[in-house]
Structure 1
Amino acid sequence: MKRYEKFADDIAELIRSGVLAAGQRVPSVRYASQTHGISPSTVFQAYYLLERRGLIRARPRSGYFVNDTFSLAGLGDRAPEPDLRPAVAAQVSESTEVDVSELVFSVLESIKNPDTVPFGSAFPSPALFPLQRLARSLSSATRDMDSRMVVSDLSPGNPSLRRQIALRYMVAGQMLPMEELLITNGALEALNLCLQAVTEPGDLVAIEAPAFYACLQVLERLKLKAVEIPVHPQHGIDLEVLEQALRRYPIKACWSMTSFQNPTGATVPEARKRDLVELLRKHEVPLIEDDVYAELYYGQHAPKPAKAFDTEGLVLHCGSFAKSLAPGYRVGWVAAGRYAQKVERLKLMTSLCASMPAQAAIADYLQHGGYDRHLRKLRHSLEDQQRAMLGAIARYFPAQTRVSQPSGGYFLWVELPETVDSLKVFQAALAQGISIAPGPMFSPTRRFKPFIRLNYGTPWNDTCERAMEMLGKIIRSMMGADAGRRS
């Protein structure tokens, strides 16, 4: 990273954390140069970069100031503090059989048409990924592949790739033995295998509410019952409610996205992740940690996973390259703790191994392709796109709308006025060539009717802007004659 980029990231972090507030002047070029030991030209380059990101602006003969429109999700010059009430009642729900697949399939079908605006997609745009450079790694890895790997690299997977993943854990401050790592066909297979390793049909699993719809589909397929635990839009899974559920029900596993949760974007603070691991340890309940968005953080430091606080091998930590590097390659992994051998045997009993050329290609890219440089660019792009979508919500959606502002990932969880049915919004929007993800697909009990999840993982353009304007019109039309707009 160049010096001006590092200084720009330092200032951006001060803005994100609220140390530099909206409208406040940032350090002068002279002062920044003297105090940080960098040249004035380096400071100027950093400030130009921050201007391009929309974080600061120059005032003639006055210096640089934090943009008013950045503060508080970009919802106007003097937007109110965001309402951070939990999205669902803070109480334990009854265990529920899961049946959401038909709704999920209809949403997935809606994004297959390339002319549809993919706000309902679960994936970022392929345009954000170094696919040509990956193709060179794939070509090189395939050319050099030893035919004996067909047998030697069955599960747990390509040793070079597992070594690279273990190195990334180490750089993040976590020593992880390679023996714990298993390569899978994407994170979804890892999560499936983990659940199979720790449950039997009919068992109860604590899940988040709202929950990632694939989690619900896995429970449905394995004939498991869900106990919904509310997710706070700022703090993530509600530990107090989870503790009540653990006392009340014979829960066999807990599935949680502890960072940049899908769909809310919530991240569990580090101290509460430690508490989560300790709570589950007391009850001898394994945690299946879905951490596929781990690399998509916007600050300078990645949030630690709950796995970092696991001392007894009870956390099965699942990751993937699909969201950060290689969509379509279907390469994920799990650090399965005390369950590593059982998960590996389940893998051998189902799909034997992940694609060997894909594993070798990603191993080559991680070693030679500049992964961290790509990630820095990807994070900046996603943060810019989040800002653009938040601005569009401010312009076009009703005044009563509430929206999350996650510090990573690429989803916004939007609460519409309570009279609006998101399933009807989904149908009306699809008729206009716009896909969204309606709230009921994120709950086995079809809750969250006035909620939608929006994906800002597509580079912003006029088509996105017009689609947001149309969404606003559809939503307001369902509110009645006195529907309002943000000023």
Structure 2
Amino acid sequence: MKNANSTFLYMKIANNIERQIIDGVLKLGDKLPSIRVLHKEYGVSVSTVQEAYYYLESKSLISSRPKSGYFVIHDKNCIFRSPKTTNPPQEKVSKDACDFFSNFYQNSRPQGVANFAWALPAPELLPVAKLKKSLHETIRVAADGGTNYDTIEGSVDLRRQIAQRTLLWGGNLSEKDLVITSGCINALSLAFMATTEPGDTIVVESPVYFGVLQLANQLGLNIIELPTCPIDGMDIDALRTTLEYKKVNAILVVANFNNPIGSIMPDKNKKELVKLSKQHQVPLIEDDIYGDLYFGKNRPSTCKYYDDSGLVIWCSSFSKTLAPGYRIGWVAPGRYLDKILKLKRYHSIATNSIFQNAIHNFLVNGRYDHHLRKLRTTFCSNSHKILRGIKKYFPEDTLVSNPKGGFLIWIELNVKVDTQKLHERANKYDIDFCPGRMFTLQNQYNNCLRLSFGMVWDEKVERALQKLGELANEMINEAEEIQVLSH
């Protein structure tokens, strides 16, 4: 346990460096003194200096580069106003709105010059060679060559590995608490089917991942979209009021690095959310698929951490961090374990055993944490690159979220820019992104868009971002010219 003196010392070092960064003495890209240099200069332990640097990393002021040291990543000239807390209308909307999602998928081109649309890490950022090796070894040692069904629960070895990793956020799950699924969307689907029936009502953040809207539509569920802050996530007061006056059958939340808005719910809000769930006996479905992609020192906590009643259903997968195509996810169903096992038996029987065991082997060999560190470093660096690009190329009144993890960013443009029309223009230049209208069933977010920065950043990406900004500026100029002519 740290004593007060060591805490004071590391904060003193951190505050001194932070002040130099904010004042512009230390500029973007500058290398910081090594840990050993500061250890000698301040006459403190190496761990105290490390704590100071960890703290600065958590504030997205500096970043470490393997074998190179720590560098300033904060740009004082690249500060945006964040979008305001959303205020979704509550009128009913035709379920036909989901047709827009299908049309987008048909027209989207993942092989474009710059794909800002797909919420997936680029293959070049994944340990493909090591996964192939793990896959070959799995098939070689499998007695049946992987041809038989696995158990309904899924590989006990993989479940044990996932359970052990919950220690990172203070969890105490065991393999018996987990069920392997075919990706996170399958976990969410099982969770919805276990807790709701057609005609029931669920509460979600707004904007919300369009896959959830499609899923809820297919299951015949009504959706209430709640106000959501780009920084803190779902408005807890709005949820409290909704639970008091409306019949709600399930709550869905992405508490860590929300897709698409990038918010991270503070621990006190997570705790209050779980408390409300328990008070009203409404199951809370937690999509934690981006939780491991934090930019700071520690992995953020989960709503599941505060669950003492089994009402929180924790869902995640390896799709955003390791192997999207393997479709390996999981769910910790809490009190709904028997229901979810029965539903899985009806709908899929078992999950691919070869891919489960290949991922298990990868985790056992200790490669995963090393890979995650590299991936987080890349995404953190990309987040600063895309912010600088938006500042440089996009209209001056652009509002932007500032995610502290994941690889998605939410942008609110001038109301003169219809991002569905912007999408059509961008496609002509082989640029793809997600218009904001995709993330709601209401008529809103028409001037918003979501960009992914989960790629290898290069000149082509930079040029595409520049072109996208130019197109947005063109649309504003055109609208203003029409306005002048109409007078």
Is the shorter-chain TM-score for this pair beyond 0.5, marking a shared fold? yes
Q: Which residue, out of 57, 70, 75, partners 2:74?
A: 70
Gaps of 5+ in 1: 1-9, 58-63
Residue equivalent to 2:362: 365
Residue 168 of structure 1: aligned partner: 165
2:179 aligned counterpart, secondary structure: strand
Aligned partner (choices 198, 201, 209) of residue 204 of structure 1: 201
Q: What is the CA distance between 1:114 and its match in structure 2?
A: 1.5
After superposition, the Cα gap between the structure-2 partners of 1:138 and 1:476, relative to the gap in structure 1 and judged at 3 Å, is same
Which amino acid counterpart does residue 327 of structure 1 have in structure 2? P
Q: In structure 1, how many angstroms separate the alpha carbons of the residues matched to 2:201 and 2:337?
A: 22
1:404 paired with 2:401, answer yes
Assess, with a 3 A threshold, how the Cα gap between structure 1 residues 223 and 151 changes in structure 2: closer, same or farther: same
Distance change in 2, residues 1:258/1:193 (3 Å): same
Post-superposition CA distance 1:415-455 (Å, at most 9, x none): 00112111111111111110010000000113101100000
Q: Residue 450 of structure 1: which of 447, 451, 476 is its match? A: 447
Task: Provide the residue aligned with 1:61 in structure 2.
Answer: none
Q: After superposition, where does 1:9-88 map in structure 2 within 5 Å?
A: 21-22=21-22, 23-24=24-25, 30-33=37-40, 34-38=42-46, 55=62, 67=72, 70-71=74-75, 75=78, 79=79, 82-83=81-82, 85-88=84-87
Q: Is the contact made by 1:236 and 1:261 (CA closer than 8 Å) also made in structure 2?
A: yes
Match of 1:223 among 195, 212, 220: 220
Alignment of 1:261-276 (within 5 A): 261-276=258-273
Q: What aligned pairs does 1:9-408 form with structure 2 within 5 A after superposition?
A: 21-22=21-22, 23-24=24-25, 30-33=37-40, 34-38=42-46, 55=62, 67=72, 70-71=74-75, 75=78, 79=79, 82-83=81-82, 85-88=84-87, 93-94=90-91, 96=93, 98-147=95-144, 153-408=150-405
Local SS of the residue matching 2:325: coil
- Report the CA distance shift for 1:201/1:144 in structure 2 as closer, same or farther (over 3 A): same
Count of matched residue positions in the alignment of Structure 1 and Structure 2: 450
Correspondence for 2:3: none
Aligned match of 2:423 in 421, 426, 432?
Answer: 426
Match of 1:413 among 390, 410, 422: 410
Return the letter of the residue paired with 1:268: M
Percent identity between the two aligned chains = 33
Q: What is the Cα deviation at residue 249 of structure 1?
A: 1.5
SS of residue matched to 2:166:
helix
Determine the structure 2 residue equivalent to 1:3: none
| Corresponding letter in the other structure for 2:290 | Y
TM-score, normalised to structure 2's length? Answer: 0.86
Structure 1 residue 259, shift from structure 2 partner: 0.4
- Deviation string, structure 1 residues 181-231 (Cα, Å, up to 9, x no partner): 000000000000100000000111001110000000001111111001111
Q: Does the 8 Å contact 1:212/1:263 carry over to 2?
A: yes
Q: Runs of 5+ in structure 2 lacking a partner? A: 1-9, 27-31, 481-487
Which residue does the alignment assign to 2:7? none
TM-score by length of 1: 0.86
Pair 1:102–1:332, CA change in 2 (3 A)? same
Q: Runs of 4+ in structure 1 displaced over 3 angstroms?
A: 17-21, 24-39, 53-57, 64-67, 94-101, 109-113, 148-152
Match of 1:60 in 2: none
Root-mean-square deviation (CA, aligned residues, Å) is 3.0
Describe the SS at the equivalent of 1:316.
strand
